[in-house]
Amino acid sequence: MNKTDQHARSDHAIAMLGCFDTKGADFAYLRERLLAHGQSVITINTGVLGRTDHFPIDIEAWEIAEAGGDSLDALRQQADRGHAIEVMGRGAAIVLGRLAAEGKLKAVIGMGGGGGTFLALAAMQAVPLGIPKVCISTVASKDLSKQVGAKDITLVPSIVDVAGLNSISRRLIRQVAAATAAMANTPQTDLESQASKGRIAISMFGNTTACVTACTALLEAKGYEVFTFHANGVGGQTMESLIYENCFDGVLDLTTTELADELCGGVCSAGPLRLEAAAAHGIPQVVAPGCLDMVNFAHPDTVPPAYQNRRLYSWAPDVTLMRTDEAENRKLGKILTAKLRHAPAGAIVLLPMRGLSQIDDADGVFHFPEANQALFEAIKSTASDQVEVREIDAHINDETFARQAVDTLLERIEAHRAKHNTDMPSRSPA
């Protein structure tokens, strides 16, 4: 073993994963550059067809396949590339998740074409916020939002194919290796917030900005740090993901509009699991049906034919809002309470009786009291005993509503801390 290879099995290292069977030379150069920056490297082979003799492999492909629920021999015999990529991505995620839980990861870096990119991004889903995640990809310029999900992943276009070294690929790999090493060397303490009473996640849309701005000011005045998430689909997914990572002490979920997009096929859906993390994780939450009066589409010609005769409003040239009706709001009320039903810490739902969004007031284009009433009645009639529902005689953007929302959440946080005999935040650092 040469001098640089002595770094390979450190307990705190950069994980380099990819298909070493077909791209061994490319990964050998990446590893060489990481070692040159003083980094230790854990090499993880996700290639089904074989291995490489360019460098030592720490975690072999058969280990990844078995972690993913299959055997390497079976994958080779089946010769089903799509299935193999899915299995290896799942296995790599399990392995990376274990390394992260054991405190062995400084960063993760992957590299590849379409299949290699899918593998790397799938594996990186198991790595917590704050651990750098970098992928050099031939498809980085395409829409990879689904594959990236809510993770802090840096995508770098490979410019040329990842298929053998040349002057362009060498230069790019050198730069990315240097950047990854620098990110890996950033002390985790730099990611810590200043001393505060706790961290609060809050959801926002343009139509609830006034409410969230007021709530943020009130919470900061009380010594809390506030993290705002735009309820555009990705924002909701990110907030849910970070709740599961124990980043927050409370959730002020004022803008649950993504539920409407999930129900009606809008472009801002956060998926079927939205509004479930806080309940599952048992942290205090206050919820409001903010912007459940609307579903989001893009340009007007993207509105599905079934909705063309509905009440539509152009929020921007590429944003068309559709007003939810009574039937949809009854469904949304039931969906909302079902997601809160088993919250160990309980939940409080605040109903803004005078309007759900900026354009839902007495003079607003989405003013539709009957639809709102259908929503409120559904929430009240289907809420479990653990969920408290309070009617607030105010519009969601009124200062009165913001104050009651903040006061309610802080009361719930204090009660939660008293129950668990702690005065300090119990979450992990981001």
Write down the pLDDT at residue 356. Answer: 98
pTM comes to: 0.78
Residue of 348, 349, 355 lying closest to 394 (CA atoms): 355
User: How confident is residue 418, by pLDDT bands cut at 50, 70 and 90?
Assistant: confident
Cα dist. 307→175, 270, 310, 332 in Å?
A: 49, 21, 5, 17
Write down the pLDDT at residue 1. Answer: 35
Write down the pLDDT at residue 2. Answer: 39
Buried b (16+ CB within 10 A) or exposed e, 162-171: beeeeeebee
| Chain segment 274-323, per-residue pLDDT in tens | 999 999 989 999 999 999 999 999 999 999 999 999 999 999 999 999 99
400 three-class SS: helix
148 alpha carbon, distance to own chain's centre: 9
Instruction: Please state which CATH class domain 192-419 belongs to.
Output: alpha beta
Tokens 């089903």 map to which residue?
80
Distance CA 315, CA 364 (A): 13
55 alpha carbon, distance to own chain's centre: 34
Q: What is the arithmetic mean of pLDDT over 345-361?
A: 93
Write down the pLDDT at residue 188. Answer: 67
Write down the pLDDT at residue 189. Answer: 57
At CA 358, angle to CA 355 and CA 360, rounded to 5?
A: 40
Q: Are strands 294-297 and 319-323 parallel, antiparallel or unpaired?
A: antiparallel
Given a cut of 70, is residue 234 above it in pLDDT?
A: yes
What are the structure tokens assigned to 91, written together?
Answer: 């296995």
pLDDT-wise least confident of 36-45, 138-147, 413-422 = 413-422
User: In CATH terms, are 4-189 and 192-419 the same topology?
Assistant: yes
User: How confident is residue 427, by pLDDT bands cut at 50, 70 and 90?
Assistant: low
Cα dist. 143→8, 140, 198, 205, 298 in Å?
A: 34, 8, 35, 23, 16
At CA 210, angle to CA 287 and CA 214, rounded to 5?
A: 75
Q: Any bridge partners for residue 45, and if so which? A: 18
Write down the pLDDT at residue 195. Answer: 64
Write down the pLDDT at residue 298. Answer: 94
Q: What is the DSSP secondary-structure string of 311-347? A: -EEEEETTEEEEE--HHHHHHHHHHHHHHHTT-TT-E
Residue of 221, 227, 223, 333 lying closest to 287 (CA atoms): 333
Q: Which alpha helices (H) appear in 265-310, and where do they start and end? A: 277-281
E strands within 250-310? 250-253, 285-287, 294-297
Given a cut of 80, is residue 325 above it in pLDDT?
A: yes
| pLDDT cut 70: percent of the chain above it | 93
Return phi, psi of residue 111, to 5°.
-165, 140
Domain map (residue ranges) of the chain:
4-189, 192-419
CB distance 121 to 158 below 8 Å: no
User: How confident is residue 135, by pLDDT bands cut at 50, 70 and 90?
Assistant: very high
167 alpha carbon, distance to own chain's centre: 36
Write down the pLDDT at residue 369. Answer: 97
pLDDT-wise least confident of 113-122, 126-135, 144-153, 289-298 = 144-153
Q: What is the arithmetic mean of pLDDT over 249-258?
A: 97
Q: Is 108 left (phi over 0), alpha (psi -120 to 50) or beta?
A: beta
105 three-class SS: strand
Residue of 182, 168, 64 lying closest to 126 (CA atoms): 64
What are the structure tokens assigned to 116, written together?
Answer: 């290699």
Given a cut of 80, is residue 20 above it in pLDDT?
A: yes
User: How confident is residue 343, by pLDDT bands cut at 50, 70 and 90?
Assistant: confident
CB distance 40 to 14 below 8 Å: yes
Q: What is the arithmetic mean of pLDDT over 254-272?
A: 97
Q: What CATH homologous superfamily does 4-189 map to? A: Uncharacterised protein family UPF0261, NN domain (3.40.50.12020)
Q: pLDDT averaged over the chain?
A: 92
Q: Any bridge partners for residue 250, and if so which? A: 200
- Tell the burial category of 418 from Cβ atoms under 10 Å away from its Cβ (0-12, 13-18, 19+): exposed
Cα dist. 188→185, 313, 430 in Å?
A: 9, 45, 9
Write down the pLDDT at residue 200. Answer: 97
Given a cut of 50, is residue 122 above it in pLDDT?
A: yes
Write down the pLDDT at residue 38. Answer: 96
For residue 416, count other CB atoms closer than 10 A to its CB: 19
225 three-class SS: strand
Distance CA 421, CA 415 (A): 10
